[in-house]
Structure 1
Amino acid sequence: MTTRVIRPDEWSDPPPSVKREVIGVQPEGPATGPPVLFVPGFGQGAWVYAEHWLERTAARGFPAYAMSLRGHGASGSAPKSGLRAYVHDVTQVAAGLPRQAVLIGHGAGALVVAMALARYPVKAAALVAPVFGGPLAAVTACARNPLGVLPAAFGGRLRPRRGQLFSSDLPAEEQRNYLARRGRASARAQWQLCQVRAPEEPVGAPPVLVVGSPDDGLVSRADLDRVARRYQGAPLLFPGMGHDLMLDARWAEPLDAILDWLEKNA
């Protein structure tokens, strides 16, 4: 991995400003850890972390924040935005926090976080069920769910199946409710995800944890291993869970493991 020193497009053609949704929960007592910024994947917003993870993170002494990328959740509309604009959103929100932050990204949001690591010096980062994209990953995703994935490559909505996102332990009604709340990324960002190259090297070599499930219907075990190797580690696995670990029935287990890791490494 390499890091570019000069990025002329960052100052000559910056992404347009948009309203950014950021939800925060503070510890009841003194903060014992750095602020944690959660970044959702494509089609999801800050609400996916507000369901469970924000409160529990704050209860462990970490100021907890969740954001929505532009065009997602309650953030401003940006139908033509691409990955660069999403990375800009993350770095801007992180830089505005009172202390150097930990970044945690899920799905394609993990790729956005990985790209942001080359621009913002984090305390640490966690990549949850990371979708790093690229042509091979796009072909694999289409093979697993052609009707739900192929239209997204041509500007349509990405439609993962319930069985890919959640385990059977989560009640069907909750699964349907979560699916109904999904939005969509821009067509440009979805197309870029199919072609994206590997992220650049993080600034300052922060510790990076990769978390996932071998039963994830979207991210294979091989993909988890591949991403973890990029950061000189092995994935922390939670069998029996779906892709959306923060919403699945056993949501507390991966979060507690991440926070335990942060207490030792951030």
Structure 2
Amino acid sequence: MRSELLRFEDWTSPVPAVEREVVSRLVEGEDEQPPVLFVPGPGHGAWAFAERWLGHTAKRGFPAHSLTPRDGGDLRAHVHDVVQVAAALPRQAVLVGHGTGALVVAYALGRYPARAAVLVSPVLEPRPALGAALRANPFGTLPALFGGAQRLNRKQLFSPGLPAEEADAYLAKIHPRPPRAWTARGDAPRPVGNPPALVVGSPDDRVVPRTSLDRAAARYGGAPLLFPGMAHDLMLDAGWAEPIDAILDWLAKELAGPR
């Protein structure tokens, strides 16, 4: 993995400024834990974490924030926004990315010295994810092969345990976006400061194959933490509390250890 604190294009073609949507849940009283910045993938906004995980994280003592991806932004712009928001927080932040948001976090780690990082259902490899999507939802995926927007369905994002009315309400909030804007060129950079990293997912995910989870975890020196029976959107699915509690337990253990 390579490192890139500064890039030539940052000077020659700076990312345009935008008004960023950040949703926060703060800790009551004095907070002693680092803030956690949640990064959703395309189509999802800060709302996807605000539904469950933000409040739960704050109750566990971690100030929680989520950043909505900018409209029409490419991977570089989203990485820029994550770095800027994280740098503006009062303490060194933990970065948590979901889906393609995990790819954004992987790149942001090359520019921001995160306290720790968590990649949830990470889409780091577009081809395996596209193949899985074609098998699970061919009609919703075919437009993406020609530069159109990919439409994920209920079975891809949620397990049968989530009531249909809840799943449909979440699906109505998801805005499909063309995948080309989020395409990476080459491997993600080497993380600055070598922060601890955790990969979380489900072996039953119909978006991210199990082999991709294994490779992502191996890239960061570990094994994936798996939650069988859940689907891609762990933060919204039935049983949502189990993965976030496991993430926060892991984080508390890492913070208690030597640096």
Corresponding residue for 1:22? 22
The 1:193–1:16 alpha-carbon spacing in structure 2 relative to 1, beyond 3 Å, is: closer
1:224 to 213, 235, 240: 213
TM-score normalised by structure 1 residue count: 0.91
Residue identity matched to 2:88: G
SS of the residue aligned with 1:56? Answer: helix
Where does 1:11-160 land on structure 2 (aligned, <5 Å)? Answer: 11-71=11-71, 79=72, 81-160=73-152
In the alignment, the residues of structure 1 paired with residue 211 and residue 241 of structure 2 have an alpha-carbon distance, to the nearest angstrom, of 24
SS of the residue aligned with 2:122? Answer: coil
SS of the residue aligned with 1:103? Answer: strand
Residue identity matched to 1:27: V
In the alignment, the residues of structure 1 paired with residue 184 and residue 107 of structure 2 have an alpha-carbon distance, to the nearest angstrom, of 14
In the alignment, the residues of structure 2 paired with residue 30 and residue 6 of structure 1 have an alpha-carbon distance, to the nearest angstrom, of 35
In the alignment, the residues of structure 2 paired with residue 124 and residue 57 of structure 1 have an alpha-carbon distance, to the nearest angstrom, of 15
On the 8 A contact 1:137/1:194 being kept in 2, the answer is no
1:176 aligns with 2:157: no
User: What are structure 2's unaligned runs of at least 5 residues?
Assistant: none
- TM-superposed CA distance for 1:146, in Å, is 2.4
SS of the residue aligned with 1:18? Answer: coil
SS of the residue aligned with 2:24? Answer: strand
On the 8 A contact 1:21/1:67 being kept in 2, the answer is yes
1:191 aligns with 2:183: no
In the alignment, the residues of structure 2 paired with residue 43 and residue 241 of structure 1 have an alpha-carbon distance, to the nearest angstrom, of 20
- TM-superposed CA distance for 1:195, in Å, is 5.8
Corresponding residue for 1:207? 196
Residue identity matched to 1:184: P
On the 8 A contact 2:41/2:101 being kept in 1, the answer is yes
Identity %: 58
In the alignment, the residues of structure 2 paired with residue 90 and residue 214 of structure 1 have an alpha-carbon distance, to the nearest angstrom, of 28
- TM-superposed CA distance for 1:200, in Å, is 1.2
Q: Superposition RMSD on alpha carbons, in Å?
A: 1.5
Residue identity matched to 2:110: A
TM-score normalised by structure 2 residue count: 0.94
In the alignment, the residues of structure 1 paired with residue 126 and residue 163 of structure 2 have an alpha-carbon distance, to the nearest angstrom, of 33
Corresponding residue for 1:74? none
Corresponding residue for 2:254? 265
The 1:192–1:46 alpha-carbon spacing in structure 2 relative to 1, beyond 3 Å, is: closer
- TM-superposed CA distance for 1:69, in Å, is 1.0
In the alignment, the residues of structure 1 paired with residue 66 and residue 6 of structure 2 have an alpha-carbon distance, to the nearest angstrom, of 29
Residue identity matched to 1:84: R
On the 8 A contact 1:132/1:198 being kept in 2, the answer is no
The 1:90–1:6 alpha-carbon spacing in structure 2 relative to 1, beyond 3 Å, is: closer
- TM-superposed CA distance for 1:6, in Å, is 4.2
Residue identity matched to 1:16: P
Residue identity matched to 2:172: A
In the alignment, the residues of structure 1 paired with residue 137 and residue 241 of structure 2 have an alpha-carbon distance, to the nearest angstrom, of 28
- After superposing on structure 2, the runs of 4+ consecutive aligned residues of structure 1 that deviate more than 6 Å are none
In the alignment, the residues of structure 2 paired with residue 38 and residue 85 of structure 1 have an alpha-carbon distance, to the nearest angstrom, of 16
Moved more, 123-132 or 146-155: 146-155
- TM-superposed CA distance for 1:14, in Å, is 1.1
Superposed CA deviations along residues 65-112 of structure 1, whole A, max 9, x for unmatched, are 0110101xxxxxxx3x31101111111111111111000000000000
- TM-superposed CA distance for 1:153, in Å, is 3.7
Moved more, 109-118 or 11-20: 11-20
State the aligned residue count.
255
